[in-house]
Amino acid sequence: MTYDKNNIFAKILRGELPCKKVYENDFVLAFYDINPQKKIHVIVIPKGEYIDLDHFIQNAKDIEIIEFNKAILNIVKKLKISSKDNGYRVLSNIGIDGGQEVPHLHYHIFGGQNIGKMVV
Ligand code: 5GP
């Protein structure tokens, strides 16, 4: 599978579609999900062209992998849902069985309320 440059998150990264930005640095963009499933629902994406977590881990530079994960902590601190607050959940859907809809790697961050069962 090759990366689809016309996926929705690629368009958001290029500024062709709007987003409600939460956090940005040289490697990462985070924005509110358009259809939130919980009180806080944020999408975190790397700026590089990676389809999913497997593709990312196999192809990204170490700095990209490190910065992507470090960004999570900065984002949850900013949202006041870190482990020092009430906590949160990180989830990434991968492939068909994972239910991935947008083929650009993303983590979902859920918080702001009790998230409930791990999988529904
Ligand atoms: P997936 O099922 O691929 O893990 O999740 C894709 C997520 O992207 C869904 O939660 C969906 O609501 C969100 N989404 C789809 N299109 C847009 C959009 O144009 N803007 C934003 N902010 N989120 C989107």
**56-92 pLDDT tens trace:** 999 999 999 999 999 999 999 999 999 999 999 999 9
Bridge partners of residue 28, in order along the sequence: 46
Tokens of 89: 């959940």
Tokens of 39: 């009180």
Q: Given ligand 1 and candidates 21, 22, 35, 104, which is best to mutate, with the most ligand atoms within 8 Å of its CB?
A: 35
Amino acid (one-letter) located at 81: I
Q: Based on the residue annotation, tell me whether 108 is a catalytic residue of this protein.
A: no
Q: Given ligand 1 and candidates 31, 90, 91, 102, which is best to mutate, with the most ligand atoms within 8 Å of its CB?
A: 102
What pTM was computed for the model?
A: 0.97
Q: Which residue has the tokens 């960004």?
A: 71
- Across the range 35-50, mean pLDDT stands at 98
Q: Which atom of ligand 1 is nearest to the CA of 32?
A: 22
- State the pLDDT confidence band at 119, using cuts at 50, 70 and 90: confident
Compute the CA torsion angle 98, 26, 15, 58 (nearest 10 deg): -30
pLDDT reported for residue 120: 66
